[in-house]
Amino acid sequence: MTDLRNAWTGASALLFDLDGVLTPTAVVHEQAWQELFDGYLAETGHPQGYQESDYFDHIDGKPRFDGVRDFLASRGITLPEGPVHDHPDNVTVQGLGNRKNAIFNEIVNSRGVEPFEGSVKFINAAVELGLKVAVVSSSRNAPAVLKAAGLDHHFEVVVDGQVAAGVGLPGKPDPATYVYGAGLLGVPVEECIVVEDAVSGVQAGAGANFYAVIGVDRGAGRQTLLDAGATLVVDDLNDLL
């Protein structure tokens, strides 16, 4: 345990993904994506249905509309892009993405959000040691999820999908959003640790010269995260204390 603690205490800042790292909302995203594509594929009569592995292979950790495009591409489907605020009933990339968002919000609003206990302990320990913390998430729902989970007061810097789109940053697996988050904290990337549970997020962290990339295995698989570039992988952030 001492070795694991030493793996992060020498850094100056921690950049956290949100869904699956701080909150169990990755599961909610999985459910929302499955409901979306189960419905869409049934409507179109496509012979290859949605599978659990599709989430990790084509969607996990990516900006929402990239997830729509990549999943559809895996089925050989191309749809018109549609306007940014396209109606969720419309069969376009933007429409399907907005439909998924509506499903996600409905689930969160009905169930609420409880953060991972080990993640809360880890954040508190890091802040007590003087490390700066930020959230870097592909989700445009990140501020609402943080507030629902009671974590918003910890993070002055939140780089979510809305912020990234506003300043023209590419999404994960490109490291741009993490580099941007480090800049907002005023900490060199070499002194920042990326904390991720998704392959695309780990790849983003490994794509720049960060102090380390800590993988949290919530289902992607330990070896998969290591192969993607994680410095080390834990089952829960409490393991680092």
d(CA 170, CA 132): 24
Greatest CA separation found in the chain? Answer: 56
Residue 239 near residue 35, CB atoms below 8 Å? no
- Does the annotation count 17 as an active-site position? yes
**Measured between alpha carbons, how far is residue 35 from residues 69, 116, 148 in Å?**
16, 24, 23
Q: Which of 19, 66, 160, 197 is catalytic?
A: 19
Residue with tokens 């409901």: 35
Q: Which of 3, 17, 54, 174 is catalytic?
A: 17
One-character DSSP codes across 15-54: EE--BTTTBTHHHHHHHHHHHHHHHHHHHHT-SS---HHH
- Residues assigned a catalytic role: 17, 19
